[in-house]
Structure 1
Amino acid sequence: MPLYEGIGIVAEKHTVILDIGHAFTKCGFAREAGPRWIIPSQVKNSHTGKLRKLWDFKDRKELYFILKDFLHMLYFKYLVVNPKDRRVVIVESILCQTDFREVLAKVLFCHFEVPSVLFVPSHLMSLFTLGISSAVVLDSGYSETVVLPIYEGVVILNAWQALPVAAQAIHRRIEAEVMEKAKVKTLASEPKPLGELLAEKGQTEPLKETVLEDIKVRTCFVAPFDLGQKIQAYESGKRLSGLKLSEEVPEPPPSPPDVEYPLNGEKIMTIPGEIRNYAPEIMFERSGDEQSLASLILDAILKSPIDVRKTLAENLVVMGGNTMLPGFKHRLLAEVQNLLKDPYYSSRLPIKKIKIHQPPAKENYIAWLGGAIFGATDVVTTRSITREQYLKREYIPDWSDQMWTSHSGRGRS
């Protein structure tokens, strides 16, 4: 008898909770305080042996095979349970592609024959960890940052804000800076610039994404507000001077110490200190549309009904792996407080304080933990889509779709 079947007989069969992100996937069971595993959202191709990211697909057919291999790995390598005996709760973003969620449901129902599936929005699930019903939720993950206000459990969908600035943008800046400024030394040679060393070896890919992620986590931090303003002014002055639009070059701000990062057994890369706080600064720089993380929060509150704005401002929830950088929350509060002094916001938002909640979990799995709490309630049995319902209609309603009433059997057929 396989191991996973034996475990299913002895233990209580809790619901499987999945949170499939662009960079990492959290998986585990309901009623648990944290995910069993946090793994990269990628799978090895059985034919070529190369790793494929889940979100890099050409069509639904290709996505079907990618998800089938990925879920097979989740169930039989990491969770070690029989999928036919477990309900599934999928924690998803409100901006999740329709093709992705429909193909995911097809794989679960048709290939793994799970008994039921329930899709829940990640922003709402983050509130379950705190026991609150109203908040502005900022989710900064790998590819984008999304801000969504929620009042009394109802999503104010027309007020959502998004900006394509998150971990991926930080990685690209780290990559550009280390290629230009970092030096690598070996036991047999003097230190050389990283770009020159890679050019000698003919490498087309500078640094792997996992290396850039590790450099960010181990060495980078978010600068305080005053230092951040000096960094932005200095970089802006350098650009203007380089374009000959200004003759004055600003004084460089103080930088933290350089750090040594081991590339492999023989190579040691020296990362200049200025990169450590300059790379994360991209999250707080104004975009071409004069948007930043602080403006996303205030614009979301401003677009909400006037009688709920004070409540929303006093309940800010920050989640996503990108927000785990040291100093992020402190800088975010300072940026919002500074932006509130702008005449555009001060005349429309007479708010004095912005308060951030401290959830009982790390920021990268707050939504998963909310799904684990939600998955332990009776709602899973009443609101889930069963396999029989799916095979009958092959329809996956959106979480806000009014057709859900009739589809779930509580309304007319």
Structure 2
Amino acid sequence: MDKSSIVLEIGGAYTKCGYTQEATPRFIINTDLSPLNISTFLSSGTEISFTNNNEEQQQDKDKDRFKQPLQKQLKESLYIFLNQIFFKYLLCDPGERKIILVENIFVPRLFRQALVSVLFEQFNVPCISFVNPLVCLLPLIRTTGFIIDCGLNETRVLPVYEGVGILKAMKTTNRGFNSLKQWMLKELQLKCQFKNTINNTIITQQDQLQTIHHSLLTDQLVEDIIVRCTVMAPLDYPIEKVSPITYQLKGNISIQLDAQQRLDIAKSIFNFTIEDEMNENDDIITIILNSLLDCDIDIRKSLCHNIVLIGGTTMIAGFKTRLIQELNKRCTTVEQEPRGQEELKGLLNHFEFIKHSFQPNSLMWLGASMIGSLDTIPTKLTLDQYIKNGRKVPEWERLNNNNSNNNNTLISSPSTIVTTSSSSPVPSTGK
């Protein structure tokens, strides 16, 4: 009996690893490519700091170009990270198992090439199969869905109708969990009060405050405050029903968040800001509606009835309810919006989620685990094919051509989730 394949989903914040035919990842660990910044390699677009036009930031941009790591540096960091996954967590010999990689459709070539190179040349894996976010529909037994992937650095939306991904309607925005962290960090530094818990006095001295800001307000702590203390309440939620909360920092220092700060977290990800206009960036609601506009008019309601949320950011308390309310609110004011969004007015109150019991942050991993046990994945690359191809990773279409003998498949390209020769696809249960 063949050994189970290894399933890897490398995200901007966390990496999920485990084996095929299992319902959950064995481990969820921090994605650590120290000293490199993983967000540089996994985002579909550029960071906000690289898109401004003023002179000072342009100079910083030019300086950072020379700091961009070479592929050799990336390979070294990936080797250390993967070595830890295989031998510390999974306790396996990667040379004896196939690898299933869950990746962003538009993952930068630099990262993709470096990752495959390390797996083949340093870990001697026999085969790598590539799967994309469309696999999240497999555990739900659906072939139609509107996938909203809200991650660390960006949010991506992709409509899928009867097993076919509509790539022309795929949209991305630089709104993700980092947007929430940046907003919360500013709130903590400018508006929140720090207290000394020993004598119950408010710290007002600037030197002490600066020390707290630099030493205590780390990324991990800000993330913990967002998860524990904030909530995306429904629109027009009475602020009187929300009480202030005190968060204990290290030592004898605590911080207090008032009701307004606990509720305003949703504005940083759903509302359009002046900064977004400067950077030609859209909020999440805008890219969802623009994506629906790019779909045929007769499939829009089916997509709206089958919304799928994936990514850790969508697990924040109240995210689902607030998203639906923001979409309905925007549909009632489409006359004021650009791009002819008045066509979407008929979608009011038609936004619904696919009901399921899976965790959004591991839904893609679960789909990859399900199909990883099959031998009919055409988007795979063997070690021999990799060497014959000049040690380069082919594009998705060429991967399909290399494995064109497989007719019955579940994943054939970034735009299809179901491809059949004689059998029919699983019917969609969308309305």
TM-score between the two structures when normalised by the length of structure 1: 0.82
Query: CA–CA distance in 1 between the matches of 2:269 and 2:90?
Result: 35
Do structure 1's residue 390 and structure 2's residue 386 form an aligned pair? yes
Matches within 5 A, 1:71-220: 71-122=82-133, 124-180=134-190, 181-187=192-198, 190-192=201-203, 197-199=208-210, 201=211, 204=214, 207-220=217-230
Corresponding residue of 2:288: 297
Query: CA–CA distance in 2 between the matches of 1:294 and 1:390?
Result: 41
Query: CA–CA distance in 1 between the matches of 2:281 and 2:174?
Result: 13
Matches within 5 A, 1:391-406: 391-393=387-389, 394-399=391-396, 401=397, 403-406=398-401
RMSD between superposed Cα atoms in Å: 2.4
Specify the SS of the correspondent of 2:321.
helix
Identify which of 236, 253, 277 aligns with 1:267.
Answer: 253
Unaligned runs of 5+ in 2: 41-67, 407-431
- 1:262: Cα distance to partner? 1.9
Aligned residue identity for 2:150: S
Change (3 A) 1:194 1:106: farther
C-alpha contact (below 8 Å) 1:198/1:206 kept by paired residues: no
Query: CA–CA distance in 2 between the matches of 1:99 and 1:52?
Result: 14
- 1:79: Cα distance to partner? 0.8
C-alpha contact (below 8 Å) 2:103/2:130 kept by paired residues: yes
Do structure 1's residue 407 and structure 2's residue 402 form an aligned pair? yes
- 1:263: Cα distance to partner? 1.4
Specify the SS of the correspondent of 1:300.
helix
Count residues with an aligned counterpart: 366
C-alpha contact (below 8 Å) 1:136/1:297 kept by paired residues: no
Identify which of 54, 58, 62 aligns with 2:38.
Answer: 54
Change (3 A) 1:166 1:215: same
Do structure 1's residue 318 and structure 2's residue 318 form an aligned pair? no
Per-residue CA shift, 1:344-378, capped at 9, x if unaligned? 43435533411111233111111111111121223
Query: CA–CA distance in 2 between the matches of 1:204 and 1:359?
Result: 42
Query: CA–CA distance in 1 between the matches of 2:253 and 2:366?
Result: 40
Identify which of 2, 24, 32 aligns with 2:22.
Answer: 32
C-alpha contact (below 8 Å) 1:18/1:27 kept by paired residues: yes
- 1:196: Cα distance to partner? 5.1
Query: CA–CA distance in 2 between the matches of 1:195 and 1:129?
Result: 53
Query: CA–CA distance in 1 between the matches of 2:209 and 2:395?
Result: 48
Unaligned runs of 5+ in 1: 1-10, 45-50, 231-252
Query: CA–CA distance in 2 between the matches of 1:88 and 1:377?
Result: 12
Specify the SS of the correspondent of 1:370.
helix
Query: CA–CA distance in 1 between the matches of 2:171 and 2:323?
Result: 16
Matches within 5 A, 1:310-389: 310-341=301-332, 342-343=334-335, 344-348=340-344, 350-352=346-348, 353-380=350-377, 383-389=379-385
Query: CA–CA distance in 2 between the matches of 1:338 and 1:258?
Result: 28
Which stretch of structure 1 is more off in the superposition, 260-269 or 296-305?
260-269
Query: CA–CA distance in 1 between the matches of 2:205 and 2:24?
Result: 39
Q: Percent identity?
A: 29
